[in-house]
Amino acid sequence: MTHDTETCPIPEGDPLFRSYHDDEWGVPASADRAFFEKICLEGFQSGLSWRTILQRRDEFRRAFDEFDMHRIAMYDHAEIDRLMQDKGIIRNRRKILSVINNARRALELQEQSVSLSGFCWSFEPSPESRPARVTRAWLRQNPASGESAALAGALKLRGWTYVGPVTMYALMQALGIVNDHVDGCHCRLRIETLRQSFSRPAVSGSAHPRGDKR
């Protein structure tokens, strides 16, 4: 890892990780498929590193029909067997079953006219709850937040799996719900500008995740 405390921690000599950091990480997203994919990949990361998952991301997309939740929700035993034989992905049955389960839970949200992205964005932290400065030390000390714990709890109540507070905070970081590029990172100002102009997806329907509907 680089030792410059004023930049985000990026593995040295890894252009794929560098590209992910520079071009994707923290960019605000609103597509349900992006949120579903991230939840699935973070589930597979459990016990591993994001670098390992990132190196196989294209294989995961191929194996899981580009994370089309409608298709995945229809997977049967034959599809599970196919995935368990696929050397391009992490062949963990519990995690594969979790992806299928979560696809079905995502469709249940849609049936209530609730988008997955809007559901997740409704847990965006208030500006007052964010640190004055984001540093490497702060990131190490804060692998989760109250908001990510609340999001995890709301999803678990709806039957989702592999959605713990740390996993949900990683989702918030990756998809722009928070800007955790450190203060010295060359991406931080660009991401903050994108966040300021970004139109948050609204939560509608009958299954609002928060009681306050803020």
Q: Is 162 a catalytic residue?
A: no
Specify whether domain 15-197 bears CATH 1.10.340.30. yes
Return the domain boundaries, the chain: 15-197
Give the per-residue pLDDT at 206.
55
Which one from 6, 12, 25, 50 is the annotated catalytic residue? Answer: 50
Q: Is 50 a catalytic residue?
A: yes
pTM value > 0.85: yes
Which one from 25, 42, 75, 162 is the annotated catalytic residue? Answer: 42
Signed CA dihedral, 209, 159, 110, 198: sign only: positive
- pLDDT, the chain, mean: 94
Q: Is the pLDDT of residue 25 over 90?
A: yes
> Nearest 5 degrees, angle CA 175-CA 179-CA 184?
135
